[in-house]
Amino acid sequence: MAKVFTITVPPDVTRKKSRERTSDPRYVDGQRLLVEAMKYLAQSDPIANRHAIELLSEHVRTRFRMSDSPLMSETPLV
C-alpha cells in the first residue's frame, strides 16, 4: 500500500479574486436568434407551437448568463 501525502498551500491573498466577464458577440447573437425564433413561433401559431416555445425558453433560461441579454446588446438587430 502506498501512502498519500498532502501538502497544504495557504491561499494567496494578493491574487485577484475574479476577472470581469466580457460578452462574446457570437454568444449574444445566438441568444438573440433563439429569442427571435420564440417570437416567430408565438406569432404564427402559439397553441400548436407551445411545446417548442417552452423547449427554447427552458434552453435560454438554463444555458445563458442573465448578464448577456440580447435585449441590452449594443449591436443592432438585423
Between residues 76 and 15, which one has the greater pLDDT?
A: 15
Average pLDDT, the chain: 77
* pLDDT tens, residue by residue, 44-65: 999 999 999 999 888 877 776 6
Averaged pLDDT, 12-41: 81
Domain enclosing residue 34, as ranges: 25-65
**3-class DSSP state of 56:** helix
CA distances from 40 to 17, 46, 56, 59 (A): 42, 9, 12, 17
Q: In the chain, what percentage of residues exceed pLDDT 90?
A: 24
Is 52 a domain residue? yes
Q: What's the structural domain count of the chain?
A: 1
Task: Determine the longest span between alpha carbons in the chain, in angstroms.
Answer: 68
Is 13 a domain residue? no
Report the predicted TM-score, pTM, of the whole model to 2 decimal places: 0.53
Statement: residue 13 has pLDDT above 60 = yes
Is 15 a domain residue? no
Is 44 a domain residue? yes
Is 40 a domain residue? yes
Is 41 a domain residue? yes
**3-class DSSP state of 59:** helix
